[in-house]
Chains A and B, each alone.
Chain A
Amino acid sequence: KAGVTQTPRYLIKTRGQQVTLSCSPISGHRSVSWYQQTPGQGLQFLFEYFSETQRNKGNFPGRFSGRQFSNSRSEMNVSTLELGDSALYLCASSSGGASTGELFFGEGSRLTVL
C-alpha cells in the first residue's frame, strides 16, 4: 500500500511569490490535514479536509488556503510569501472517521523563502 506522497519535496521561492503544494493520501483515506513545522513554533495545524470539505482550520492568515479533490488528493496554497513562511509543510492522511485514528504523514515539502 503506497504511503502519503507530497510534491515537491524541496522548493525555493522569493518574497511575494505564491506556492502550491500537493498531497496524495493513502488509498481509501478521506481525511487530509496539513501542518507547518518550524524550529521555533514546532508543529502547527493549518487545516483539515474531509470529503472535499474543510472540517477544521488552524490559526493562520488567509494567505494560507487549501482544497481537496474528489479523489481525496489535496493541495495547499500560500500567496504573497513572507520570509517567515520558510518551513517544512507536512501532510497527513487518515480514515477520518474514528477519533482514535492515527495520522499517516508524508515526508513533507521543505519551502525556503528568500
Chain B
Amino acid sequence: AQSVTQLGSHVSVSEGALVLLRCNYSSSVPPYLFWYVQYPNQGLQLLLKYTSAATLVKGINGFEAEFKKSETSFHLTKPSAHMSDAAEYFCAVKGTSGGSYIPTFGRGTSLIVHP
C-alpha cells in the first residue's frame, strides 16, 4: 500500500520568501513521486517528478524537490516566491509494482503569497 501526507493544508509566505511545501510518503517499494499544481478552476499540471535518476529534481517555474529515502520525504521548494505561485499543490506517489498505474495523491497544500 502507498500513501502520501502533506503537512499543512495552508502555507503563507511573503513575496520573495522561500517556499517550502512538505510531503512524506509511504510505499513498500521504491516509489515514483510527483508534484502537481492546480490553479483556480483548472486541472492539475505536473511541476516535477522523481523517477530515481537523481535525488534533486528540478521542475518548472523555478521549483525543485529533493528525494530523501531515509526520511521518506519529497519536499518542494522555491527560493523566491512570486504572486503567481499562489495555487494548490499536490504531492503524489506511484508504486512500481503490483500493476497499479494510479498515483495516490496527498490532500493538497494551498500556497498563499502576500505582497
Contacts and interface: CB of A to CB of B under 8 A. Distances in A.
Interface of A: 4, 6, 31, 33, 42-43, 45, 48, 50, 55-56, 90, 92, 94, 96, 99-108, 110
A42 B43 contact: no
Contacts of B44: 90, 92, 103, 105
Interface of A is mostly: strand
A104 B34 CA distance: 12
A56 B103 CA distance: 11
A100 B105 contact: no
Contact of B95 (A45, A99, A110): A99
Nearest to B101: A99
Contact of A99 (B43, B45, B96): B96
Contacts of A90: 43-44
Contacts of B51: 100
Given A45-B102, A100-B49, 9 more contacts: A6-B43, A31-B101, A56-B100, A56-B101, A94-B101, A99-B32, A99-B101, A102-B46, A107-B41
Given A33-B102, A103-B46, A43 B95 contact: no
Most central of B36, B94, B103 by chain A CB within 10 Å: B103
Given A99-B32, A107-B41, A43 B101 contact: no
Contacts of A105: 36, 43-45
A108 B88 CA distance: 15
Given A42-B108, A56-B100, A106 B49 contact: no
14 contacts: A42-B106, A42-B107, A48-B102, A50-B101, A90-B44, A99-B94, A99-B95, A99-B96, A99-B100, A100-B32, A102-B46, A103-B46, A103-B103, A107-B41
